[in-house]
């Protein structure tokens, strides 16, 4: 499944015409048929339908759907807004088709004054006012109409995108002027705004409708965003040598824990060992010895010179990968040791938790992060590192800029976790649930990433596969125990089953 910006979608439609010989009206009819089939599943023929159509191609889609619904026997009333007197050619054609072939439709073309129609809870409203081409807040009349529709008890279906929402950046959007849809039926691909937390309340149940553009043999677009679906992630799994030994599958170093924070080290260590790594050394103060030796007996314990905190860096060349941060603390000696460990690292590096907090307190050290390192901040940690932003899209853009500038991988943890790569590309993860909003799940991700790097996965593959397995393990735990009842160790125990499930996926083709 693809993610398309407005400009990428426009380019894709142009390719469909070039390679498939389609006209714009052909694409509109394809879209209308898919929309019609979905709308029939939402409300039956006894439902009164009110259609609000704008003067552009989103409105043309709405008019085409109105025609199909009317022919099916639905009672349809259409309001086409043409206040500027300029409609797209396709919208005008669909208007004429509707008028001439569906005389039973109550059709109103609004050019000036407009009396708001009554809307009841029995009505189905089809929102086709504005599509992904919108690049400014709605003008006054449309804003009032949106607020009126939202205030009704009618069921609302938005075509492609809720009117008033912009395809990508909604910084300039007034959220009170966005249709609050019960269903969003988006055409061909996911829109970037759909992955932003602050846009979620307006989407309702979102479904992507395939209108067959990619089946026409169009060249694959180099998109800015991709979704890490099973189809894309499964091929990343490495072949596991049946003649391998523990040295074959990597030796990782986990620097974690301080007095009172042994649990973070335990969680990360258990997650690492359940993700396929051959050997693990945990560098931790001796105060944590008994806890770690008991809870992770398979790990090698290396004690710090200080009994309570991390103060003495390890030689990273002895390991295939290093992770630092869970439960580390932020005291001055630890910060100095962390800086020395990071700046002298010669192996792939994962930086998380208190290591991120230390960097936030010493921003000058950011330039010392080794290239291709992986940082895993949640939104608040990201703010402390790189500054506040107005909304999720601005934060995402800033994460992309920082990943490119520092030449690192930034895993911005959220419901749709964003993996920002040094080349500017962003992968969105598709697994996970709100049950993972519990203490320690970030430590588990650190352990998984450490394990994959130690096994020889490149950083980008480790990020994509690690986030996918982390979320999938969380989904399996939630299925067994509910989102409310699961804890991080339930997630950790499901990691092997997440790997097993991914291996069992029957992938026919890579999208």
3-state secondary structure of 134: coil
pLDDT of residue 507: 55
d(CA 228, CA 510): 11
* Upper half-sphere CA count for residue 267 (Cβ side, 13 Å): 24
CA distances from 94 to 23, 65, 341 (A): 14, 10, 66
pLDDT of residue 287: 97
Domain 231-504 has CATH 3.40.1190.20: yes
* Upper half-sphere CA count for residue 373 (Cβ side, 13 Å): 27
d(CA 309, CA 288): 10
pLDDT of residue 509: 38
pLDDT of residue 29: 96
Tokens of 482: 């509910």
d(CA 48, CA 119): 10
Per-position DSSP letters for 41-108, written without gaps between them: HHS-TTS-EEEEE-SSHHHHHHHHHHHHHHHHT--EEEEEE-TTS---HHHHHHHHHHHHH-TTSEEE
pLDDT of residue 471: 98
User: Residue 239: which residues within 8 A CB-CB, separation 6 or more?
Assistant: none
The Cβ of residue 115 has, within 10 Å, a number of other Cβ atoms equal to 7
Q: Rounded to the nearest 5°, which phi and psi values hold at 493?
A: -70, -20
Tokens of 261: 């924070």
pLDDT of residue 1: 67
- pTM listed for this prediction: 0.94
Q: Domain boundaries in the chain?
A: 6-223, 231-504
d(CA 341, CA 230): 35
Architecture of domain 6-223: 3-Layer(aba) Sandwich (3.40)
pLDDT in tens, the chain (511 residues): 679 999 999 999 999 888 888 899 999 999 999 999 999 999 999 999 999 999 999 999 999 999 999 999 999 999 999 988 889 999 999 999 999 999 999 999 999 888 899 999 999 999 999 999 999 999 889 999 999 999 999 999 999 999 999 999 999 999 999 999 999 999 999 999 999 999 999 999 999 999 988 778 788 888 999 999 999 999 999 999 999 999 999 999 999 999 999 999 999 999 999 999 999 999 999 999 999 999 999 999 999 999 999 999 999 999 999 999 999 999 999 999 999 999 999 999 999 999 999 999 999 999 999 999 999 999 999 999 999 999 999 999 999 999 999 999 999 999 999 999 999 999 999 999 999 999 999 999 999 999 999 999 999 999 999 999 999 999 999 999 999 999 999 999 999 999 999 999 875 433 3
């Amino acid at each position: 499944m693809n993610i398309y910006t407005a400009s990428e979608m426009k380019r894709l439609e142009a390719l469909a015409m070039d390679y498939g010989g389609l006209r714009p009206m052909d694409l509109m009819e394809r879209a209308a048929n898919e929309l019609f089939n979905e709308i029939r599943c939402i409300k039956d023929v006894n439902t009164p339908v009110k259609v609000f159509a704008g003067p552009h191609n989103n409105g043309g889609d709405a008019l085409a759907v109105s025609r199909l619904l009317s022919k099916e026997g639905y009672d349809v009333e259409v309001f086409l807004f043409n206040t500027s007197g300029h409609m797209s050619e396709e919208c005008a054609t669909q208007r004429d088709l509707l008028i001439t072939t569906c005389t039973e439709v109550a059709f109103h073309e609004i050019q000036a004054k407009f009396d708001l129609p009554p809307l009841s809870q029995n009505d189905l409203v089809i929102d086709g006012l504005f599509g992904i081409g919108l690049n400014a807040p709605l003008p006054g009349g449309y804003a009032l109409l949106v607020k009126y529709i939202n205030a009704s008890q009618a069921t609302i279906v938005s075509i492609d995108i809720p009117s008033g929402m912009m395809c990508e950046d909604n910084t300039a959007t007034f959220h009170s002027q966005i249709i609050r849809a019960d269903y969003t039926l988006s055409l061909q691909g996911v829109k970037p705004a759909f992955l932003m937390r602050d846009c979620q309340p307006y989407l309702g149940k979102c479904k992507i409708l395939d209108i067959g553009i990619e089946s026409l043999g169009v060249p694959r677009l180099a998109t800015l965003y991709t979704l890490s679906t099973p189809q894309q992630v499964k091929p990343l799994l490495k072949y596991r040598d049946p003649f391998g030994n523990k040295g074959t599958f990597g030796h990782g170093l986990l620097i974690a824990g301080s007095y009172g924070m042994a649990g973070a080290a335990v969680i990360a260590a258990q997650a690492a060992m359940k993700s396929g790594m051959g050997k693990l050394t945990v560098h931790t103060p001796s105060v944590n010895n008994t806890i770690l030796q008991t809870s992770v007996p398979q790990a090698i314990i290396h004690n710090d010179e200080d009994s309570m905190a991390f103060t003495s860096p390890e030689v990273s060349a002895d390991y295939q990968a290093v992770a630092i941060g869970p439960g580390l603390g932020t005291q001055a000696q630890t910060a100095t040791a962390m800086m020395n460990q990071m700046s002298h690292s010669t192996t792939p590096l994962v930086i998380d938790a208190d290591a991120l907090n230390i960097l936030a307190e010493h921003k000058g050290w950011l330039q010392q992060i080794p290239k291709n390192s992986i940082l895993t901040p949640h939104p608040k940690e990201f703010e402390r590192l790189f500054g506040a932003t107005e909304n999720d899209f601005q934060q995402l853009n800033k994460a992309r800029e920082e990943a490119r500038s520092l030449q690192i991988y930034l895993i911005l943890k959220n419901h749709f976790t964003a993996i920002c790569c040094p080349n500017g590309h962003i992968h969105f993860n598709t697994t996970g649930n709100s049950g993972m909003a519990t203490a320690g799940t970030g430590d588990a991700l650190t352990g998984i990433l450490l394990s994959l790097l130690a096994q020889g996965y490149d950083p980008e593959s480790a990020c994509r596969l690690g986030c996918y397995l982390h979320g999938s393990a969380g989904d399996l735990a939630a299925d067994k125990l509910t989102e409310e009842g699961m804890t991080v160790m339930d997630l950790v125990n499901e990691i092997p089953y997440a790997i097993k499930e991914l291996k069992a996926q029957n992938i026919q083709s890579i999208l």
